[in-house]
Amino acid sequence: MTAVLERTPSVVEDARVSIYQPEQAGLIFPSVPKFTNVADERRHLKERLVAACRAFALQGFDYGFAGHLTVRDPEHPSLYWTNPMAVHFSQVKVSNLILADHEGKVVEGRHAINRAGFVLHAAVHEAHPDIVAMCHAHTVYGTAFASLGKKLEPITQDAAVFFEDHVVIGDEAGQVAVEVKAGHKVANAFKGVKAAIHQNHGLLTASRHSIEAAAFWFIGLERCCQQQLLVDATGIAPRLVTPERARYSREHVGSEYIGWLHFQPIWEQLVKTQPDMFD
Ligand SMILES: [Zn+2]
């Protein structure tokens, strides 16, 4: 039994699978892996963290050295693997990942850490032992939308996956991303939700399942911010998905497992096109 699988109740996972895999036994379908030793699991997690960084590069989520992704070590849960400071997302590979503690001290790896930004991740991970992965970046649409200080509306099925499942962390957050106090504010906001819009700063996602889920829901959140801005720019009030239907969509197509499943085509594409990520 693996730590990865233990993080997601199998009954929930099975329920989600049944939606997409009715009577398809024997056909190729991704499954959450199981591990018999921690070294294999750690290698797996590091490879997926690298893939998440590469996916962010493909999405154009880079902005200088801003942005960081973390995944909790399977053996030492108070330590986190993260991308190296000032290395482009497209150049992150298994061999240049770094392992850091809650204070942002690098305990393994050759590169420095973005300690200022890491404060946010460390605070959330420390406050929520169930959160195993986080993503943050200064994206165009997410950061623009964050300036409005409001939540996304359920304007589509895709946006409904964030209905009552994201928060806006407001106001004074703009200048204080580097302070421990801001980290605690962000951490407090992450109770039971998978995403946060940090006003005047950018987007954050967290996963109790996997780095793949955190990364995919970050991609989804940025896309929803873009769509919301497009709709708002028309000046016409959109017809919203009703709260009942939005909740249904969130439960059935917005779960951690579904986020993980959405990431699988991205993983396969990267494996075929960017084999140097395993270096
Ligand atoms: Zn930031």
For every residue of 74-131, DSSP letters joined together read: SS-TT-EEEPPTT--GGG--GGG-EEE-TT--EEESSS---HHHHHHHHHHHHH-TT-
pLDDT of residue 119: 83
Cβ-based neighbours of 67, under 8 Å, separated by 6 or more:
56, 61, 83, 89, 117, 136, 137, 138
Tens-digit pLDDT string for the chain (279 aa): 334 434 343 334 545 555 666 668 888 899 999 999 999 999 999 999 999 999 999 999 999 999 999 999 999 999 999 999 999 999 999 999 999 998 899 999 999 999 888 888 899 999 999 999 999 999 999 999 999 999 999 999 999 999 999 999 986 544 545 566 778 888 999 999 999 999 999 999 999 999 999 999 999 999 999 999 999 999 999 999 999 999 999 999 999 999 999 999 999 999 999 999 999
- Cα-to-centroid distance, 27 and ligand 1 (Å): 42
Segments of the chain assigned E as strands: 68-72, 80-82, 98-100, 106-108, 133-137, 166-169, 195-198, 202-207
- Cα-to-centroid distance, 7 and ligand 1 (Å): 27
- Cα-to-centroid distance, 101 and ligand 1 (Å): 19
pLDDT of residue 16: 54
- Cα-to-centroid distance, 168 and ligand 1 (Å): 15
- Cα-to-centroid distance, 178 and ligand 1 (Å): 9
pLDDT of residue 25: 80
- Cα-to-centroid distance, 40 and ligand 1 (Å): 31
Burial category of 190 from C-beta neighbours within 10 Å (exposed 0-12, middle 13-18, buried 19 and up):
buried
- Cα-to-centroid distance, 26 and ligand 1 (Å): 44
123-150 pLDDT, tens digit per residue, is 999 999 999 999 999 999 999 999 999 9
Q: Kindly provide the b/e burial profile for residues 141-167, where b requires at least 16 CB atoms within 10 angstroms of the residue's own CB.
A: bbbebbeeeeebbbbbbbbbbbbebbb
- In whole angstroms, give the CA distance from residue 222 to residue 193: 16
- Cα-to-centroid distance, 138 and ligand 1 (Å): 6
How many alpha carbons fall within 13 Å on the CB side of residue 266? Answer: 25
- Cα-to-centroid distance, 120 and ligand 1 (Å): 8
- In whole angstroms, give the CA distance from residue 97 to residue 211: 14
Spell out the domains of the chain, with CATH numbers in brackets: 32-272 (3.40.225.10)
pLDDT of residue 5: 38
- Cα-to-centroid distance, 139 and ligand 1 (Å): 10
Rg (CA), the chain: 18
